[in-house]
Amino acid sequence: MSRSLLSAALFLATVSVAAAQAPVPLASYADANGFLDVQTLTCAQLADTYQEDADALTTWYSGWYNGLAHKHYADIRKGKLIEHEVIVYCKANRDKKIIEAIAHVFKDERAKLGIEMR
């Protein structure tokens, strides 16, 4: 009997951990009209979503930032590297906002390239 109880407890613990780690669709953070407030999304939300949603969202942010900089081209290789670095940063800094993570990664990238911001 105790072996059965132990097995049941282990099973429930495993199911609980698996449920806690299940990805959350980004759509669940949307408002009633289906819009995401990209300035308030957190790293935890990015880290906990499906990889496809994380990729799509970081691609959107890349376009947003490039638009703000009046850049009308895409560096696919560099974009993927930056997106990966943002996701890695977010997994380690879940309490930050995604826009803070992007600023951090961009700052590091600029420093590597010797670019000083005014």
Instruction: Give the C-alpha separation, 71 to 15, whole Å.
Output: 47
Q: What is the pLDDT along the chain (118 residues), one digit of tens a residue?
A: 555 544 444 444 444 444 457 899 999 999 999 999 999 999 999 999 999 999 889 888 888 888 888 888 888 888 888 888 998 999 999 999 999 999 999 888 888 888 776 6
Q: Where along the chain do its domains lie?
A: 23-113
Which stretches of 8-117 are assigned E, i.e. beta strand? none
pTM above 0.85, yes or no: no
Task: Provide the β-strand partners of residue 100.
Answer: none
Number of Cβ within 10 Å of residue 105's Cβ equals: 20
Instruction: Give the C-alpha separation, 36 to 91, whole Å.
Output: 20
Number of residues in the chain: 118
